[in-house]
Chain A
Amino acid sequence: MSVTQPPAESSKSWTLRVRERAVAALPPEKLLADKQPTYVASWIYVFGVLSLTSLAVIILTGSILTLKGPGWWHFTGIGHFFNSMHLWSVELFFFFMVIHLWGKYWMAAWRGGRKRVWITGAVTFLVAVPCALTGYVSQQNFDAQWISTQAKDAMNSVGIGAFFNLLNFGQMYSYHVLLLPVAVVALVVIHVLLVRKHGVVPPFRISERMAAFQSRPASPADADLSSSHEVAS
């Protein structure tokens, strides 16, 4: 009995194909780079990672608050502490994210094929806003009641009050502890992977110099020059 061998391409398992595509799209040396260009040695480049750090604290404290419940975060000292940690990490998250957004906007961070990096960052900001809003209305106190009754008019005015009802605590809490955080974290992961793939956007002057450098005929000195623009991270 003879067995016909399928073509080599189709014999690859789907895991192998996915792995090959993943490695081709994002090689390990880009995914976990040990060097960065010298131009990232500027304070304006730190606000992205500060936003990430704040997000990590938000997720950690939010997970603890979810496990313990409103009785704990309202009526115990340690509960108050974690509640405050959660609130202030959100405040810092938006503070750092807005400065990161300003910096990238004035840097035109969508240059050099980085459109998807910019879009995922901007969408993350937009999704984070309702994520915070649903948190404010999930506090289980008079502040939450005030915010929900005020914000419902805004939702009704744009016609989404029937789908996004701020007076429905169960819906708001579900949005806040699951749907919107998952969306934010997923977008942030995609955003960071895209940054790793495309690299950090260079300043305008360096970008122009690199374009001029790449357009001239290659010479043996090019390798030395290109390596001189990297520092250990």
Chain B
Amino acid sequence: MAAVFNLNHHATYVHFHIGGGTTPFFVFDMSLSNVILIAVMLAVFVAAIALPFPHTPGAGGQK
């Protein structure tokens, strides 16, 4: 991975919060790479449900 991406720097974080002050109501703090990974997992999950499966020879399919 290091050959493809420059990893010699601090991680980029996705951060947002709901509510201000010292105790926000909700805080989201996650590295960008983890956010991307979870997004890819969700995309694969949706694709696995939505995409048709190749039919087995002789099978009647999902009827």
Contact = CB atoms under 8 A, between A and B. Distances in A.
Question: Real complex partners, A and B?
Answer: yes
A35 to B, nearest CB: 10
Nearest to A91: B37
A42 interface: yes
Contacts of A99: 41, 44-45, 48
A41 B48 contact: no
Given A99-B48, A232-B56, A41 B61 contact: yes
A38 B60 contact: yes
Contacts of B41: 95, 98-99
B51 A231 contact: no
Interface string A28-67: 0000000000110111101100000000000000000000
A41 B45 contact: no
B59 interface: yes
A219 interface: no
Is the contact region of chain A dominated by helix, strand, or loop, or is it mixed? helix
A42 B53 contact: yes
A44 B48 CA distance: 5
Interface residues of A, number: 16
A81 interface: no
B49 to A, nearest CB: 6
A232 B53 CA distance: 15
Contact of A231 (B44, B47, B60): B60
Contacts of A43: 47-49, 51, 53
Contacts of A232: 56, 58-59
A47 B41 CA distance: 12
Contacts of B55: 41
A110 B13 CA distance: 37
Interface in B3-52: 37, 41, 44-45, 47-49, 51
A215 to B, nearest CB: 21
CB-CB nearest 3 A-B residue pairs: A43-B48, A231-B59, A44-B48
Interface of B: 37, 41, 44-45, 47-49, 51, 53, 55-56, 58-63
23 contacts: A38-B61, A38-B62, A38-B63, A39-B62, A41-B55, A42-B53, A43-B47, A43-B51, A43-B53, A44-B49, A46-B48, A47-B48, A95-B41, A99-B41, A99-B44, A99-B45, A99-B48, A103-B45, A103-B49, A231-B56, A231-B58, A231-B59, A232-B58
